[in-house]
A = this chain, B = another copy of it.
Amino acid sequence: MAGARPPPPASPTENNAMTQHEYELGEAELDVLRALWDGGPGTVREVMQHLPARRRGVAYTTVQTLLNRLETKGYVTSDKSDVAHVFRAKLTRERVRRARMKTLVGQLYDGAAGALALHLVKTQKLSRAEIAELHRLVEELDEDNPNT
């Protein structure tokens, strides 16, 4: 994004980024965050090792920049007591999931999460176990809501 967009008014009560509900994360930033989630806290070099294949080959300093930006945004902290700083994710995967899901539902499903659920069931290849569970769930639902 860019340009003359008025910054969100920043609620007076909560304002440290971790409490906001729209985590602004670029693609690369998210990949770095994911590396942190997957590999746990680590130095720049260690984080690099956990980057997804697609992101391999980026320069050391690129990852460093990304980590610093994430820290500035409040999504990551770092322990600087050692020479090589150790970065740790502050923002959880779950948080991002919820936020992203919410955005997606709002933008493309008119806020109807139910529709999304159906869409997924239609679209995705479910495993046998999943189908079985789904079957069970549907029966429960049918009972709770006995009609048609």
Which A residues have a C-beta under 8 Å from some C-beta of B? 1, 26-28, 30, 34, 93, 96-98, 100-101, 104, 107-109, 113-128, 130-135, 137-138, 141-142, 145, 147-148
Contact = CB atoms under 8 A, between A and B. Distances in A.
B134 A135 contact: no
A97 B108 contact: yes
Contacts of A107: 30, 34
B137 A141 contact: no
A100 B109 CA distance: 11
Given A98-B123, A121-B121, 8 more contacts: A100-B104, A101-B104, A101-B123, A113-B123, A116-B124, A117-B124, A117-B130, A128-B148
B117 A120 contact: yes
Contacts of A125: 114
Given A121-B121, A126-B117, A130-B118, A109 B137 contact: no
A126 B105 CA distance: 14
Given A34-B107, A135-B138, A145-B128, A97 B118 contact: no
A130 B148 CA distance: 11
B108 A121 contact: no
A8 to B, nearest CB: 11
